[in-house]
Amino acid sequence: MRKLSDIIIEEGTKDLGIDKTRTTIRAIICKNDKLLMVYSPTFKDYTFPGGGMKKDEDHITALKREVKEEIGASEVFNIKPYGYIEEKRYGISNRPTVYLQTSYYYVVDVSNFGEQDLADREKEHGVEPVWVSIDEAIHINQLSISKLNQKRGMKTVLPREIKVLESLKKK
């Protein structure tokens, strides 16, 4: 799988050692020049559906689970690797843990929509699946970066998603 950009480094972590690694899997779902992304009214941003792999999962199993949880689609097919991005960032807990997170992106088709099965944090953020153009997602995410003081451990999320969106736009 191809690397989509240089590593994204959260401010303050450059000279720190890595305490943990984390692997995430994310879906790129495109139809009629729109992407199915997860919108958070709390943060006013768009992210690709996906999340962390569990210990007993491979990429495809994690991808299918995350897509079902975040957008409610129980059928995931035509799965094609797209690329990956690495981030060096703080964890989201209050401890000073530094992660090397690798996010793997897959282009997929989905169907058979049902209810989301969101984690508590996702419910708090009010996340919902939304069809959006690449340009709109980039624009809104750039506004969110400039207006919101994102908490430590989350500062690499939108730059990562913008890099993927810009890569898709070039294709």
Q: Whole-model pTM?
A: 0.93
List, for the chain, all residue ranges whose pLDDT scores fall below the cut of 70: 94, 148-153
Q: Evaluate whether 137 touches 144 at the Cβ level (below 8 Å).
A: no
Classify domain 8-170 at the CATH topology level: Nucleoside Triphosphate Pyrophosphohydrolase (3.90.79)
The pLDDT value given to residue 51 = 93
DSSP letters of 136-168? HHHHHHHHHHHHS-PPTT-TTHHHHHHHHHHHH
pLDDT digits (tens, 9 = 90+) for 80-110: 999 999 999 988 776 778 999 999 999 999 9
The pLDDT value given to residue 120 = 78
The pLDDT value given to residue 125 = 78
Give the residue extent of every domain in the chain: 8-170
CA 88 from chain centre, in angstroms, equals 15
The pLDDT value given to residue 103 = 98
